[in-house]
Copies of this chain bind each other. A is one copy, B any other.
Amino acid sequence: MTTASSETTTTHWTLTLVCQDQPGIVHAISGAVVQAGGNITESAQFSSHDTGTFFMRLQVEAPGERAALEGALAPVIAHYGMQHKLDVVGRPTRTLVLASKAAHCVNDLLFRQRAGQLPIEIPLILANHDDLSGLAEFYGKRFEHHPVTDPESKAAFEARVLQVVDRYDVELVVLARYMQILSPELCAALEGRAINIHHSFLPGFKGANPYRQAHARGVKLIGATAHFVTSDLDEGPIIEQNVVRVDHTRSAPELMAIGQDEESRTLTQAVRWFAEDRVLLDGARTIVFR
């Protein structure tokens, strides 16, 4: 099929599209792909009845450069007023990790990233404690420790976050059990690109030491929720949730250890889906094209 001069290597692209729902979108987009000589290898779409929004995620094999595919898509994107993102499948997402003392989430992210199971790169780990410097070193990651002890040092830490986001063109900020509340300004600046993890219980418990409360109420399930960061604490759009069964014999510290396992795997899963462009925002909800 290809001639001798064919330097036109094929690239595998991810394309996500969001626009107001209306007839003809799929036909128009698939037409642009055909025009660029591409082939759709994976496709998922969803029309939200709540917001009247259309969401689509495609994987496309196409010859030639980005410009060729972008050029074919441009008129369609303009016509429908689409938000879109075109990316190479598997390109690592530039990810800033924020941490405190707890190792479990950071360890899971680093292990899986090195194992090739998590398409992210981590230019820096920023922490308000020094406990994880050895772990970072083992995995060959830069690690900065800036104590946060008062409003000034907190402002400095957040300024450093924004500086790093800017300098390294960071696409995702992961709060891997970073135990400081972000300022509303930082939440706003990172909207839609910062993921937090927190424990979850049925029923929910407000206030300090939730594992002790969970023990006192004798809950039978504990879990974790990964969600986008918003200024409404722990109430951002949910990306992923998991639970595990427990019983009356578990002490509060044991519940905590079990909960941490759920936190690790839930956060890593949410990060993976984000890095694969599988998570799209629909108001207060997420569309996750698993």
- A residues sitting closer than 8 Å to B (CB atoms) are 22-27, 30-31, 33-34, 37-47, 49-50, 103-104, 107, 111, 115, 117, 134, 138, 200-204, 215-221, 223, 225, 234-235, 237-243, 247-249, 251, 257, 261, 265, 282, 284-288, 290
Contact = CB atoms under 8 A, between A and B. Distances in A.
Contact of A248 (B40, B218, B288): B288
Contacts of A104: 115
Given A218-B285, A240-B220, A45 B42 contact: yes
B43 A45 contact: yes
A129 to B, nearest CB: 16
Copies of this chain: 4
Contact of A203 (B204, B216, B247): B204
A134 B31 CA distance: 51
B111 A107 contact: yes
Max chain B CB contacts within 10 Å: which of A46, A47, A202? A202
B23 A39 contact: yes
A215 B240 CA distance: 14
Given A203-B204, A218-B282, A247 B40 contact: no
A69 B45 CA distance: 21
Interface of A, helix, strand, loop or mixed by DSSP: mixed
B44 A34 contact: no
Nearest to A266: B220
Given A218-B285, A237-B218, A38 B23 contact: yes
User: What are the 4 closest A-B residue pairs judged by CB atoms, nearest first?
Assistant: A218-B285, A27-B30, A138-B138, A26-B30
B241 A220 contact: yes
Contacts of A247: 288, 290
Nearest to A286: B218
Contacts of A221: 223, 241-243
14 contacts: A23-B34, A23-B40, A24-B30, A27-B33, A43-B44, A46-B248, A111-B111, A138-B138, A202-B241, A203-B235, A204-B204, A215-B285, A243-B243, A247-B288
A2 B223 CA distance: 42
B42 A34 contact: no
Contact of A216 (B31, B45, B50): B50
A138 B103 CA distance: 14
Contacts of A240: 220
